[in-house]
Structure 1
């Protein structure tokens, strides 16, 4: 089997205390990074990441992802520098554009120039981490004489971009320290992403060999293959339905799914029906790792061969968190580490 840099894990619906206990267990099992997402109206990611940091001593703490709009980059820098200090220099900051329907639709915050907003956020936060006085005049953000009133634990806190499209993947290679791909990343999509990533890496004169490429992976592993695969169909159906307004999204296009197929998921969802019966076996194999241990190893190997070198096993509704830990530790980690 091909080797990976590390295995990561991520959750979002646990209680704050559960985050702490599961993080401790993940570190004991050898996971390299514990990722905490920031999603609409879920528990605050910075608080949860602090709980992870305080309950561990070696494992990295990833915040993936935060957006440039709901808090100014200077506020994110303040929060994140404190998190990095608390963790003893183990934090990773993930930046993405966030969910437009939440930011602009529900919060009524202008969703302006998302690619520029990400680039400017990287520039502003890095300058603040270095202890600089920052006066900035960008296309999205402007500031005058900002400076942190404490010295960050590290000037070079790693920044990953969580992006979907080719131009932003190129930008990741140009300015970021790692790439964090979405759930439902197929081998074809990972290959597509890494090809565009290399374009940006060439611009910044960096080698693709050691560049971290992660993705959130939904998994369900069991000798009862049918039960394992069926457990993920409802959640995959919901995710596809939510993304149905973007039927030509590269996640779907690279996997060869026709826009009409994606639209039919959205139409069913709009009628109040989660179309789990529309999730074919091929879709399960494309968008998740599910089934027998042998099948799951084969599917993970395809992702790694496509360019992923730091898989993150993310919470899948219907699969208990401890089972995710145990199954990845038992059936996958020994074969790829």
Structure 2
């Protein structure tokens, strides 16, 4: 496998609190390059998790995915991010996104123009953590705000956009330091996204994928199905459209009455294309394909009843 790219692992959002720091420490010991924490409505906050796992580990890089733009004032979000970057220099990535529309509407924070808010927010946070002054926009109403010089990190963290729609990808290409693609990230989807991003400066591409490996490839493929349950829903259409079986995939989802039936009927070959799975050698080959397609960081989402054991099995790809 070409290790020109980084291999990370995701900290499951629903781990028992007593398991969070042991999982992070073990990911560090196993040699993963990155650990990504999740901020989903109703689960745990991304900034709090990131601070805890950074303090509990000594080497691994920690990414926050994703901070929704409607949840925090941009200035205060930048203060939190800058604090992490000062305390743990060179080890922090921050992902910012729209937030799932249903979630954000439920908390009263879905704007009339999500694209405008996203762009203004990305610009503001990026500028503030670099010590620059921010002026007011349509949504991000900061008036001459800047961080005090003593609080500006000497190594500002990359600010990435977690997006998938074509216009949001274009925003990311214009103003973000990178883009985070939700699972499933296939080589076809990565190339299609990069064409939409069309960045004019260095731009990092992070791709999430559900993953399971086992000495018996069939065991791994069956295990990983559980993580593919949602990908037939409408929000995931951009991931599937570039695939050679995209139309057949959509037809199968329409035919199935439930997500569980759909994921059970996915052909094995499709599962292999939609996940990082099989034997360790199979998984390494898939990662090499992702890196060749332009993915810089491949983040593996462990699947199974015992996430720590699943992460240890995934470490066979390193």
Same fold (TM over 0.5): yes
Segments of 4+ moved more than 4 angstroms: none
The 5 Å alignment of 1:7-18 reads 7-11=7-11, 12-18=13-19
Is 1:323 equivalent to 2:304 in the alignment?
A: no
Q: Which moved more, 1:68-77 or 1:252-261?
A: 252-261
User: What's 1:305 paired with?
Assistant: 292
> Paired residue for 1:233?
225
TM-score normalised over the length of structure 1: 0.84
**Partner SS state of residue 234, structure 2:** coil
**Does the alignment pair 1:214 with 2:206?**
yes
Asked if 1:296 is matched to 2:283, the reply is yes
The residue number in structure 1 matching 2:265 is 278
Q: Is the 8 A contact 2:210 2:275 kept in 1?
A: yes
Q: 1:85: how far off?
A: 2.6
Whole-angstrom CA distance in 2 between matches of 1:72 and 1:261: 42
Contact 2:212 2:220 in 1 (8 A): yes
Q: How many Å apart are 1:158 and its aligned residue?
A: 0.9
Q: What TM-score, normalized to structure 2?
A: 0.89
**SS of aligned partner of 2:36:** strand
2:81 corresponds in structure 1 to: 80
CA distances 1:206-260 after superposition (whole Å, capped 9, x unpaired): 35xxx43221121111122222111122331x2124xx2347x221111232233
1:244-287 per-position Cα deviation (integer Å, ceiling 9, x unaligned): 2347x22111123223333345x424xxx554322221221121
- 2:174 is matched with 174
Which residue is 1:257 aligned to?
246
Aligned pair partner of 1:268 in 251, 258, 264: 258
Cα root mean square deviation, aligned: 2.3
Give, in whole Å, the separation in 1 of the partners of 2:311 and 2:226.
21
Question: Within 2, Cα distance between the matches of 1:142 and 1:78?
Answer: 16
Question: Could you tell me how far apart the structure 1 residues matched to 2:279 and 2:312 are?
Answer: 14
**2:305, 2:112 → 1: CA distance?**
37
Structure 1 unmatched runs, 5+: none
Q: What are the within-5 Å matches in structure 2 for residues 22-33 of structure 1?
A: 22-33=23-34
Would the aligned equivalents of 2:38 and 2:45 in 1 still touch at CA under 8 Å?
Answer: no
1:118: which partner in 2?
A: 118
Kindly tell me: are residues 102 and 274 of structure 1, through their superposed partners in 2, closer, same or farther at Cα, counting changes over 3 Å? farther
Q: Structure 1 CA distance, aligned partners of 2:285 and 2:126?
A: 39
Task: Report the Cα distance in structure 1 between the residues aligned to 2:184 and 2:110, rounded to whole angstroms.
Answer: 28
Q: SS where residue 135 of structure 2 aligns?
A: strand
| Aligned-partner Cα distance in 2 for 1:5–1:246 | 27
Give me the whole-angstrom Cα distance separating, in 2, the residues matched to 1:15 and 1:121: 32
SS at match of 1:61: strand
Q: CA deviation at 1:32?
A: 1.9
TM-aligned CA distance change 1:37 to 1:90, over 3 Å: same
Residue 10 of structure 1 and its aligned partner are, at CA, apart by 1.0
Deviation at 1:87, TM superposition (A): 2.1
**Aligned residue runs from structure 1 range 53-202, under 5 A:** 53-104=54-105, 106-138=106-138, 140-148=139-147, 151-154=151-154, 156-197=156-197, 199-201=198-200
User: Which blocks of at least 5 consecutive residues in structure 2 are unaligned?
Assistant: none
Assess if the C-alpha contact under 8 Å between 2:302 and 2:311 holds in 1.
no
Looking at structure 2, the residues matched to 302 and 246 of structure 1 have their Cα atoms a distance apart, in angstroms, of 25
Of residues 38-47 and 295-304 in structure 1, the stretch that sits farther from structure 2 once superposed is 295-304
